Amino acid sequence: MLLRQCLIGAAIVAAIYIANSVGGFVDLSTLSPTLQPAVLRTAVVRTSSAPAQPLPASSQPPPAMVQPPLAPSQPPLAMAQPPLAQPAPAQQPTQQPAQPAASAARSPAPQSAPQRAAPAPAAPAPRPFTYADVVQLARQRAANAYADLTPRLPASLAHLTYDQYQEIRFRPRFSLWRDQSLFEVQFFHRGFNFDRRVEISEVVNGVAHLIHYNPSWFDFGKLGALATHLPEHLGFAGFRIHYPLQTPAYKDELIVFLGASYFRVLGRNEVYGLSARGLAIDTASTKGEEFPWFTDFWLVKPGPQQRTLTLYALLDSKSITGAYEFDVEPGGITQVTVTEELFPRRKIAKLGIAPLTSMFLYGENPSSHRFDDYRPEVHDSDGLMIQSGSGEWMWRPLVNPRELEVNRFMDQHPLGFGLVQRDRDFDHYQDGVAQFERRPSYWVQPFGDWGKGGVELVEIPTDEEIHDNIVAYWVPSQPVDGTKPLRFKYLLSAYLTAPEWPPGGRVIATRTGDFSVDGTGAKSGNGARWVMIDYAGGDLDGLAESQPVKATITSSGGRVDRVGVQRLTGTDAWRVTFRVMPTDPKQPVDLRCYLALYGEALTETWIYQLASEE
């Protein structure tokens, strides 16, 4: 029962996964940078695991809404179809005052030349549609109660199976901007699990044009008869944008928006893996998660050789509305600048900013090998990486826990966080179809001061790789009281490798268990666990084995002994091993470790929660 309830929040992402085949606290604010010549100070770690009561079923994501009109006080927007003209009010006849009798006997005064009527003032030119208009729409929508106005999906589409839905394909020759730009847009048909209608408009020269549904744009395959019985205003479920990432001869998928506020973005030589989201509300809470939806999009038409693309989006849910601007720059590392302004309708217990969602079934750690699978590792991401406001780089290996785990790493003025696929060796996956070694990493860099808060990591138990069971996002310390708008801006980067993230040595493997490390075959026993961490890169490369590299290890909830550090023969990697004796065998132990030479940190800080069952 707990497993089913925990995985409800990932159900929508599982559907996206299918379609694309067609808190405990660590205070980071007090830490010193690991890449500076100073020994780190250790923060107190307090970690919470699954709540005593199981999570309830997540609330269903709200549907799209009809766009409200702008406030009458604003100048008219540049819209493709202006409103109908209103009839002028009938003029009332005017009466001239009576003239005195004496005036009639006087000679008429000389008549002046007749005055030409002043020309009527010209109507103000319509102003271009911009992000400011989306902000105004979000503000107006938040002033009213949430309403579900999405038209019901016809039963013929709602009851489609997965295989049937795959039959419906967009015809590329009808792509928006085809042969007009480096970018092209294709649309997703509504049906199967994608029942919400998304309003999509094109902005050309500042004028917004609604894009109307046309069944001829789709190939229905074996479902050809279905196309003759669809409503005229069916609309779309989402869209994807193509761009010549690999070669000028073919435009690859670059970014896709489909389902709730989810979107995926690719850099060069990457395949789809993890997802980003517009917003997360009450994730992993006992009241159930609320899923906001992007209900409206405006795609700004780029120039013929323009290499960047701008689009706007309107987000809505029972608790909040939001205006978003996405500025997309494709490349080896594709970067998306996200600007958002949020308007809460009511108090929100936990608001997740820049949420990332991924899948981790198991990795190289032998304690996680509870699956009968030929593949050595199965995951879209293998770690959470954080750069704290103090500049410290941290690496938290992901786990597939036996119970829901929620940890929040407290910080202020964060410099970055992300879910990373660090292992790029095909031999470590052995899956030529999934190509896990090509799944992208997402790195979030905040713009401006995000203040105090924390990066929250949610790890949900799962037995199947179709479920996204990992979530990470920033949670502001300032409560959302439902009265003040919130503004955030950040850069989202999709990449395979980036030597600057982090700039020093990095963790390449984590192993835990009751195993022998001295070659004798003797195990630790007495509830103790061994930990083995491999580091490589940065100043570790080429460092002689004779150098006195030391491991700085701290723990909370247990005692550490038998620490060893050695360079692995024939490689530039360095290995740290140590034994952990839990204070309470039923409670987890929180650990931190980094390598240093003569007091100078050489690596990022490894942080880990050694669960009682490991």
**Position 19 pLDDT exceeds 70:** no
Would you state the structure tokens that stand for residue 449, as one six-digit string?
Answer: 């001061």
| Cα end-to-end span (Å), the chain | 23
**Position 68 pLDDT exceeds 70:** no
Comparing CA positions, the residue from 392, 396, 445 lying closest to residue 416 is: 445
Q: What is the pLDDT of residue 80?
A: 52
CATH class of 504-614: mainly beta
Secondary structure of 260-303 in the HEC alphabet? CCEEEECCCCCCCCCEEECCEECCCCCCCCECCEEEEEEEECCC
Separation of alpha carbons 217 and 189, rounded Å: 10
Q: Which of 222-226, 242-246, 546-550 has the lowest mean pLDDT?
A: 222-226
Q: What is the pLDDT of residue 525?
A: 61
Q: Are 271 and 435 in contact (CB under 8 A)?
A: yes
Q: What is the pLDDT of residue 100?
A: 35
- Band of the pLDDT at 438, cuts 50, 70, 90? very high
Would you state the structure tokens that stand for residue 38, as one six-digit string?
Answer: 């100073």
Q: What is the pLDDT of residue 3?
A: 42
* Residue written as token pair 């360079």: 567
Q: Where in the chain is the domain with CATH 2.60.40.10?
A: 504-614
Q: What is the pLDDT of residue 520?
A: 58
Q: Is the peptide bond before 502 cis (omega within 30 degrees of 0)?
A: yes
Comparing CA positions, the residue from 272, 380, 329, 325 lying closest to residue 493 is: 329
The widest CA-to-CA distance across the chain, in whole angstroms, is: 135
The mean pLDDT value for 374-402 works out to: 97
The mean pLDDT value for 421-449 works out to: 97
pLDDT tens digits along 496-507: 999 999 999 999
One-letter amino acid of 257:
F
Per the model's pLDDT, the better-predicted residue between 92 and 285 turns out to be 285
Q: At the topology level of CATH, where does 131-495 sit?
A: Beta-galactosidase; Chain A, domain 5 (2.70.98)
Rg of the chain, C-alpha, whole Å: 30
One-letter amino acid of 187:
F
Q: Where in the chain is the domain with CATH 2.70.98.10?
A: 131-495
Sign of the C-alpha dihedral computed for residues 476, 478, 483 and 486 taken in this order: negative
Say what percent of the chain tops pLDDT 90.
Answer: 72
**Position 88 pLDDT exceeds 80:** no
Q: Are 605 and 40 in contact (CB under 8 A)?
A: yes
Would you state the structure tokens that stand for residue 25, as one six-digit string?
Answer: 């606290």
Q: Are 588 and 47 in contact (CB under 8 A)?
A: yes
**Strands of the sheet with 574-582, listed across from one edge:** 506-513, 529-536, 574-582, 558-567
**Position 143 pLDDT exceeds 70:** yes
Q: Taking the CB of residue 181, how many other CB atoms lie within 10 A of it? A: 17
**Position 28 pLDDT exceeds 70:** no
Q: What is the pLDDT of residue 106?
A: 37
Per the model's pLDDT, the better-predicted residue between 149 and 66 turns out to be 149
Separation of alpha carbons 506 and 386, rounded Å: 12
Q: What is the pLDDT of residue 171?
A: 98
Q: Which of 1-5, 96-100, 341-345, 354-358 has the lowest mean pLDDT?
A: 96-100
Helices and strands counted in the chain (H then E) = 6, 35
Q: Which helix (H) or strand (E) holds 565?
A: strand 558-567
For the full predicted model, state whether its pTM sits above 0.85: no
pLDDT tens digits along 288-329: 999 999 999 999 999 999 999 999 999 999 999 999 999 999
Mean pLDDT of all residues belonging to the chain: 84
The mean pLDDT value for 522-527 works out to: 65
Q: Would residue 29 be called left, alpha or beta, if left means φ above 0 and alpha means ψ between -120 and 50 degrees?
A: alpha
Per the model's pLDDT, the better-predicted residue between 186 and 225 turns out to be 186
The mean pLDDT value for 148-162 works out to: 92
Q: Which of 5-14, 409-418, 541-550, 595-604 has the lowest mean pLDDT?
A: 5-14
Secondary structure of 386-439 in the HEC alphabet? EECCCCCEEEEECCCCCCCEEEEEEEECCCEEEEECCCCCHHHCCCCCCCHHHC
Q: Are 422 and 429 in contact (CB under 8 A)?
A: no
Would you state the structure tokens that stand for residue 234, as one six-digit string?
Answer: 């069916």
- The partner residues of 351 in beta bridges, in order of sequence, read 281
The mean pLDDT value for 465-470 works out to: 96
